Amino acid sequence: MYSKREIIALNIANMLHDGDFVNLGVGMPTLVGRYIPRDITVWLHGENGCVGQDATITGTQEEMQRWKAEHGGEDSDWKTGHRDLINASCEYVTLLPGGCCFDSSIAFAMARGGHLDATVLGGLQVDAKGNLANWMVPGKGVPGMGGAMDLVCGAKKVIIAMEHCTKEGAPKLLKECTMPLTAVACVDVVVTEFCILERRGGRFAVTAMNAEIEREELIKRTEMELVFDKRLHEMEMPAD
C-alpha cells in the first residue's frame, strides 16, 4: 500500500520536464527523484556541490532487480550507492552520465543566481499569501534555516511537499503562518496527499484532488480559503 509521502512525491515528479534543473530539499522532497519518468532527464542539484543526482539506491528486492536491469551493477551498488555521494537527506546516490561535483559555493551561486527551474522543499506551514515556514519547530533546537532562504528566493518555481495536516490533525495550510517565516510570498505550488494547489492572483486554487477525499472534507481540513479550478482533475496514485 502506498504512503502519503509517495503520493506527494509522484505528483511532484510528474510536474517536471525534460531538461529541468531542480533542487530537492531534505526529507520528503528527496523521494521525488525515485518517481521521475525514465524517458526524461531532470538534472538534480545538490547544494552540497553536485549536479546530476540519480534516484537513491534503496528499496525492495523487486525494485533492485528493475534498477539492475536498467543500469547494471552489483547488489552492493544498490544497497549503498556511491560512498562519496549523498543527497540532501544524507542518503547515498549515484550520478547520471554527465553529472559532476564542485565546491558548495558554486552550488549556492547557482541557487542564488536564478538558474534553478524549480526547488522542492518540505513545509511546516504555508499561508494564504504564499508565505512559507519550514525551518523552526517549536520546542526543538535548530541550527538555522540552512539553504532554504537561498533556494526559495532564487528558484524560478517553489514547490512545497508536505502532509496536509499535523500529526495532531491541525491544518498546515493557514490564513497566516504562526511559525517564523523562511520567506515571504515565495510559494508557487503546494502538493499534499489530498490535493495540488497553485497560487494564482494572490490566493490558492485547487487544481487536482485525491479521489478518496470530498471537497467538503478538504475545506474542513484547510484553514486558508480555497478556490477550485474548473478543470479540476484527479491526482495520480503510485502503483500498488
Does residue 202 or residue 43 have the better pLDDT?
43
pLDDT in tens, 153-163: 999 999 999 99
Please indicate whether residue 47 is annotated as part of the active site.
Answer: yes
**Taking the model in full, what pTM does it have?**
0.88
Does position 58 have pLDDT exceeding 70, yes or no?
no
pLDDT value at position 69?
Answer: 65
Q: How far apart are CA 60 and CA 129, in angstroms?
A: 41
Residues in the chain, how many?
240
CA atoms within 13 A on the CB side of 94: 17
Report domain extents, the chain: 4-234
Least confident stretch, 95-104, 116-125, 220-229: 95-104
109-117 average pLDDT score: 97
User: Among the options 47, 62, 163, 216, which is catalytic?
Assistant: 47
> Could you give the strand order of the β-sheet that contains 132-133, starting from the edge strand earlier in sequence?
132-133, 125-127, 173-174
The CATH number assigned to the domain with range 4-234 reads 3.40.1080.10
